[in-house]
Each structure stands twice: as structure tokens, then as C-alpha cells.
């Protein structure tokens, strides 16, 4: 760091601050074999805790020397749980035998490769080209120059931000287009790190050209000449796929100083995140791009006016940008009609947890959650009954099985007391302890809090301590009394969405599974026999 500080004329304390903030930097040499196991939502539901205990015992008994086992936040392999990272290589779908074999291979200096993604399940409706030459929407825009028409079409299609916020896409684009100044930026947020969220990974694997085209069109419409794809550190295969697509675009003149001989300039680069769930928050992402700690900014000002390097910046997520070419090619009416039951558009949703066929599915907006679980994902695994589900990973909290008829839509889910969010449908079968699941979600938030604001930093630790005590049989009804006030304080005073939604796992469990909570705090028993307290007799 001293050498780097000297070379770049950067204060050493600034580099120290970065290196201690981001999880993918090291301040000490790594062990010979480092095994970090995920235990968030999908992995937790599929035996990650048992795997960690078993592999730790086996290593201590007969394993190779120099192996260190620890935890890690969600690795984005929720469709192939449990997952781990061994010396920076992610491995998934693990058993105790397969993981121990990998550890022995790495200890012998052998190579381990990540499992390749599954092929796309047939043609996707979102791809308007289906084997034809791509970038047709861009070619049409350059031919007509009708930037206002693009905005009008996006508005008529009712395209909303599909990364979680649901803000009208056209309004963001129009905001940046109208902002004064010649220097503007387009940023694709590909940092999906919410446990259970894998849809953007799927889109980058199978339709990278749509993501790139959406960004170029956005640049032409708003007047930006520079685009950046901010991708999470764990998506190395997807980074390579996007890099190949960018190389192809430069060879064919689709990117560069003269886009398709139009006289307009636009180029793209890829920025690999140094890690951290908080980087998915748009202003924290901008801070990371500027070489700072990824701590959210106060808003206003908003990125559309004062974004990257204080310049107008359009930030959309992968799915939003990938939807643009289909809308411009097929029309707003076509896009709206893809929905059902009066809802608009298409939706990609990741389904994980206790399901027979975990994965990503392209479904009409308005599809009932029941249909997604039973028709697309093959139903609850092992023939068990459904107990609960989360529609957006930790951030949404849980709904009971009795509400499985709710439609996949922004308003429908909000009316049900949850949210569409990152479209991470996590399924919990009978036998799942909901207090244990709430604690699992809260631990993720505590671990991933950036620590900038006091409510989130202190509140997350307080909630984890309280629920840990309850799941250990040490809780009392008095432990529940401060939770409503603490939840309200977090929602009102936290700087960003992490703190504002932090308490939803326990809020939802108290709302829908209160009897199960009372069994823990009154009778000191876990009805499902999951928590470390006396099992039901």
C-alpha cells in the first residue's frame, strides 16, 4: 500500500480505508487453503450449516494442513446450493464428500473450475432477435434520430425499474437527457447480491447483447458517451461473457468513436466490484466507482443530476436495460400485453430454496406465486407442503402459504405487505423454523451494513443479538417489546434501503407466524426442532 500510495499520489490512509472496507482486499497473506461457505437463505435451507460443521470436523480429523474454514455472504449460486469459495474459486451444489475432495485437490496445488451455467431454456420472449442480427433497435434509432420517440415508447410500455425500486424508466432517462452539461454517464447495476437473486446473472449469461444494446440506446437518447457495467466480484464468468460481447461490438463498429457510422460516440467498460452487498445501492455504487468506500450518499441530489463525478448519471439494472430492445422492436402494446390479469410486461424471477427445479424463469407479470412455484419450479421439493415464501430475499420478509395466490406485480405485492424487489422468490417447506430464517436474514444485513449510519450499524447488531438469544432458548416475552419501535426507527432514520428494510424478516415473522415466536419465548421450544433448544417431545 505504501508503494501504491507513492505511485498514485494517494494518501496512505485513503488506501487503508478502502482495503479495510471491501471484503475482497487482504491485509494479510491468505492461508494455504481458504474455504468460505455461504449460509444465507437458499444455502441455509439446503444444509449449509450442517455441511460446515461436518467439513470442519473432517478437516480437523484427517484433512490437509493449512486449511481455514469460515463463512461468506451470498455467492450468487442460490440455484445450486450449498455453495462455497475455495481459494477464490466458487463451487456449488456441494456435498461433504465433493467439498472435501476439492479441498484435497487445492491442497495438492491442483486446479478447480467452477461449474458452467446451464443452457438457456429455449428462446426468450425478451429477445426480439431470436437468431437474427442483433442491435436492430439501435440501428433504427440511429436511422431516425427519434430520441423523443424512444422515451414515449418506454413510457407507453409502462417499463419500470426491475432491480427493485420500480421507478418509471422513461422518467429516469428523461431526467438525465434534460440535465445540463455535455458529460454524462450510463451505469448498469449488475451487482445483485441479495440472497436468492440470480436473474441478472441469467440474463448476462444468455442475452448479453440486450444489456449492451440497452446501454447504447440509453447513451444515444440521453447524450451520454460513456457507459460502465458495474458487476459483482463473484460473476467472473458473466464478466467474460460481457467482455466478449463488447469486443465484438468494437470490431463491428457498434461501440467506439463513431457508432455504426452515425458520427456519435459511445463506449463501454466493465468495473468489477471489490465486494459488498451495499454496492447494490446506487449512490454507494457511484462512490465505489470513484475509488471511495461504498457508503451511500444523502439524497437529494439524485444521480440523474449529480451522479458519477458529480455529472448527470443514468443508473438502471440489468433486467431493465435488457427489456429496452424488445420494447422498441415490438412496440409498447406488445410489451404490455405480455402480462396477464391486467398487469404489464414480462418478469424474470429467480426461484430458490425448497423447490424441485430451482432456477430463473421468464413469466408474465401478474403470474400468481402459486403458478411460479408449482408450474415453473416443479413444486416444493420432497413432496412437502409449502410453509412460507419470500418474494425478494431478505428485504421482503416472509408471507405464509395461505397467501401463495398473490400476483407477481409491484402493487399486488405491496398490497400484500411485501414487495417485488429483486425478484428473489425463496421457498420454505414445512419443517422450516421461521424464527431461525428471520435470524439468518438479519445476520446477512448485519454483516453487510456499511456502518455509516448509527441506526443500521447498531440496530442490526441489536436485532441479531435478540433473535440469537431467542433461538437459544434464553429469550423472554420482554425481548419482543422493543422490536416495533426499533423497526420504525430503522425505517425512518437509516440512510439507504438496507437499513430501511433491515427489520422486515422479523416483522413479517411476527405478523404471520406469531404463535411460532411465542413457542420460542414463552415455552422455550422450537416447534420444528431446528433451533438449539429442547426439541418437541
Instruction: Quote the CA–CA distance of 438 and 447 in Å, as a whole number.
Output: 14
Confidence of residue 526 (pLDDT cuts 50, 70, 90): very high
Residue 24 has pLDDT above 80, yes or no: yes
Burial class (CB in 10 A: 0-12, 13-18, 19+), 285: buried
Give me the pLDDT at residue 349, please: 97
Confidence of residue 117 (pLDDT cuts 50, 70, 90): low
Give me the pLDDT at residue 114, please: 77
Give me the pLDDT at residue 142, please: 98
The percentage of the chain sitting over the pLDDT mark of 90, rounded to a whole number, equals 93
Give me the pLDDT at residue 116, please: 66
The percentage of the chain sitting over the pLDDT mark of 70, rounded to a whole number, equals 98
| pLDDT digits 0-9 by tens, 180-226 | 999 999 999 999 999 999 999 999 999 999 999 999 999 999 999 99
Residue 230 has pLDDT above 60, yes or no: yes
Domains and CATH numbers, the chain: 31-107 (3.40.30.10), 136-331 (3.40.50.11540), 346-429 (3.10.20.600), 434-522 (1.20.1440.230)
Q: How far is CA 288 from CA 132, 156, 204, 232, in A?
A: 37, 34, 22, 12
Confidence of residue 113 (pLDDT cuts 50, 70, 90): confident
Number of H helices, E strands in the chain: 22, 13
Burial class (CB in 10 A: 0-12, 13-18, 19+), 477: exposed
Flag whether the pTM goes above 0.75.
yes
| pLDDT digits 0-9 by tens, 370-427 | 999 999 999 999 999 999 999 999 999 999 999 999 999 999 999 999 999 999 999 9
Task: Report the chain's terminal Cα–Cα distance, integer Å.
Answer: 58
Give me the pLDDT at residue 110, please: 85
At residue 180, the 3 state secondary structure works out as coil
Amino acid at each position: 500500500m505504501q508503494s501504491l500510495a507513492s505511485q498514485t499520489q494517494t494518501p496512505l490512509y485513503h488506501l487503508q480505508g478502502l482495503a479495510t472496507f471491501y471484503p475482497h482486499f487482504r491485509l494479510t497473506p491468505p492461508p494455504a487453503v481458504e474455504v468460505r461457505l455461504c449460509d444465507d437463505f437458499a444455502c441455509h435451507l439446503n444444509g449449509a450449516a450442517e455441511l460446515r460443521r461436518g467439513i470442519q470436523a473432517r478437516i480437523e480429523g484427517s484433512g490437509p494442513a493449512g486449511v481455514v474454514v469460515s463463512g461468506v455472504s451470498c455467492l450468487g449460486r442460490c440455484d445450486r446450493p450449498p455453495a462455497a469459495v475455495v481459494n477464490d474459486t466458487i463451487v456449488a451444489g456441494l456435498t461433504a464428500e465433493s467439498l472435501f475432495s476439492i479441498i484435497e485437490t487445492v491442497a495438492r496445488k491442483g486446479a478447480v473450475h467452477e461449474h458452467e451455467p446451464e443452457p438457456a431454456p429455449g428462446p426468450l420472449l425478451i429477445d426480439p432477435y431470436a437468431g437474427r442480427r442483433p442491435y436492430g433497435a439501435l440501428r433504427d434509432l440511429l436511422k431516425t434520430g427519434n430520441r423523443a420517440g424512444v422515451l414515449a415508447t418506454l413510457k407507453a410500455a409502462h417499463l419500470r425499474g426491475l432491480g427493485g425500486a420500480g421507478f418509471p424508466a422513461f422518467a429516469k432517462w428523461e431526467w438525465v437527457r434534460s440535465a445540463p452539461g455535455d458529460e454524462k454517464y450510463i451505469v448498469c447495476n449488475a451487482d445483485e447480491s441479495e440472497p436468492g437473486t440470480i436473474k441478472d446473472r441469467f440474463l448476462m449469461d444468455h442475452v448479453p447483447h440486450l444489456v449492451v444494446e440497452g446501454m447504447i440506446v440509453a447513451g444515444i437518447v440521453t447524450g451520454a458517451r460513456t457507459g460502465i457495467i458495474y458487476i459483482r466480484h463473484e460473476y467472473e464468468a458473466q464478466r467474460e461473457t460481457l467482455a466478449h460481447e463488447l469486443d465484438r461490438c468494437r470490431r463491428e463498429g457498434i461501440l467506439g468513436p463513431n457508432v455504426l457510422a452515425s458520427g456519435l460516440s459511445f463506449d463501454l467498460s466493465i468495473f468489477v466490484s471489490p465486494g459488498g452487498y451495499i454496492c447494490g445501492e446506487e449512490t454507494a455504487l457511484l462512490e465505489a466507482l470513484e475509488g471511495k468506500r461504498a457508503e451511500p450518499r444523502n439524497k437529494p441530489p439524485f444521480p440523474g443530476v449529480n451522479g458519477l463525478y458529480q455529472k448527470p448519471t443514468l443508473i438502471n439494472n440489468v433486467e431493465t436495460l435488457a427489456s429496452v430492445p424488445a420494447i422498441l422492436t415490438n412496440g409498447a402494446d406488445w410489451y404490455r400485453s405480455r402480462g396477464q390479469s391486467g398487469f404489464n410486461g414480462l418478469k424474470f424471477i429467480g426461484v430458490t430454496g425448497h423447490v424441485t427445479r430451482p432456477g430463473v424463469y421468464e413469466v408474465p407479470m401478474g403470474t400468481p406465486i402459486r403458478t411460479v412455484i408449482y408450474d415453473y419450479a416443479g413444486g416444493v421439493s420432497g413432496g412437502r407442503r409449502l410453509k412460507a415464501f419470500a418474494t425478494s430475499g431478505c428485504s421482503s420478509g416472509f408471507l405464509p402459504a395461505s397467501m401463495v395466490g398473490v400476483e407477481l406485480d409491484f402493487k399486488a405485492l405491496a398490497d400484500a405487505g411485501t414487495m417485488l424487489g429483486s425478484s428473489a422468490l425463496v421457498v420454505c417447506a414445512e419443517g422450516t423454523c421461521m424464527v431461525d430464517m428471520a435470524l439468518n436474514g438479519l445476520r446477512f444485513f448485519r454483516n453487510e451494513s456499511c456502518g455509516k449510519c448509527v441506526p443500521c450499524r447498531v440496530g442490526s447488531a441489536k436485532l441479531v443479538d435478540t433473535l440469537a438469544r431467542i433461538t437459544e432458548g434464553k429469550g423472554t416475552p420482554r425481548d419482543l417489546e422493543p422490536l416495533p419501535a426499533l423497526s420504525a426507527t430503522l425505517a425512518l432514520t437509516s440512510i439507504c434501503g438496507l437499513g430501511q428494510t433491515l427489520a422486515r424478516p422479523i416483522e413479517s415473522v411476527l405478523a404471520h407466524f406469531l404463535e411460532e415466536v411465542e413457542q420460542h419465548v414463552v415455552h422455550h421450544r422450537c416447534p420444528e426442532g431446528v433451533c438449539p433448544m429442547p426439541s418437541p417431545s
